[in-house]
Amino acid sequence: MKKNQIAAQLYSFRDFIKTPKEVAETLARLKRLGYDAVQLSSSLAPMPEAELRRILDGVGLLAPTAHEPGAKIVNETDAVIDRLLKLDCRHVAYPYPHVVPTNEAEAVKLARQLDATAQKMAAAGIKLAYHNHSIEFIHLGGRSLLDIIYAEAPALEAEIDTFWVQAGGGNPVSWISRMAGRMEVLHVKDFGVSDHYNRLMMPVGGGNLEWNAIVAAAEAGGVKWFVVEHDGDCPDPFASFKESIDFLSNNFVS
């Protein structure tokens, strides 16, 4: 892993990016923490794309990937494509089912919608990926929702989230390996257990996931961006993101 492959997911800073001024201040702080790239989020303060690009360029941050609302990706695809092209962002993730399937037929219908959307975006030079939570590990008709989505949407890329795979009862290393050649962006955050025996989202290196195996599988599978996220259980995201990048830099950056 190269240091400039480590990015920060901006949804984790949703309470700090409510105005353009706060966006500029937050991005500058992330740059000082050592991040060279960010993943854009729909939680960013509304502003023209040209203004956001000026802020990013002024701070010295790349924005190679984004999250946009699921319903907008499917139902307003042209608007999403237009926004991303203006930002020179060529990768976007569908973050959560905008309609949660309750049976296999509904799951297949969603997957085929996403496949058609991915094909349309690909024609515009943009890759569409699927970001999972734990809900995708529900079984519908003998397969997990995540299995159905990837099987029925071959044009769709993956954006595996290490914490949520573990939370759903899956194996992050196995899923990363399964998506080899189909995943450029990986969400990295750690999985721990609180003193009340509840699952706990933690900075990378602060929990129980096997990072040697995770990073090795990701690199072998062609992952280009390791996107740090800590979107829950986090009183201070800046402290968490510093801990994560320090851990990754000290243990995996070559």
Res. 217: pLDDT tops 90: yes
Q: Does pLDDT of 249 surpass 90?
A: yes
DSSP-assigned states of every residue in 182-213: S-SEEEE-EEEE-TTS-EEEE-TTSSS--HHH
Q: Where are the domains of the chain?
A: 3-251
Does pLDDT of 31 surpass 90? Answer: yes
- Report d(CA 60, CA 54) in Å as an integer: 10
Mean pLDDT across 250-254: 97
Q: What is the average per-residue pLDDT within 90-116? A: 98
What is the mean pLDDT of the segment spanning 22-39?
98
Band (195; pLDDT cuts 50, 70, 90): confident
Q: What share of the chain has pLDDT > 70, as a percent?
A: 100
Task: Name the average pLDDT for the chain.
Answer: 97
pLDDT of residue 197: 87
pLDDT (mean) for 193-198: 89
Written as six digits, the tokens of 39 are 């993943």
Q: Each residue of 155-172: pLDDT tens digit?
A: 999 999 999 999 999 999
CB 65 within 8 A of CB 227: yes
pLDDT attached to residue 48 = 98
Q: Write out pLDDT tens, residues 122-132.
A: 999 999 999 99
The per-residue pLDDT for 120 is 98
Looking at domain 3-251, does it have CATH number 3.30.70.2190?
A: no
Give the residue from 27, 73, 32 showing the smallest Cα distance to 51. 27
pLDDT at 209 over 90: yes
Q: Per-residue pLDDT averaged across 139-158, rounded?
A: 98
Residue 233 has pLDDT above 90, yes or no: no
Spell out the residues 6+ positions from residue 204 whose beta carbon is closer than 8 angstroms to its own: 188, 189, 190, 211, 228, 243, 244, 247, 248
DSSP structural state of residue 80: H
**According to the model, what pLDDT value does residue 196 have?**
86
pLDDT classification of 18: cutoffs 50, 70, 90: very high
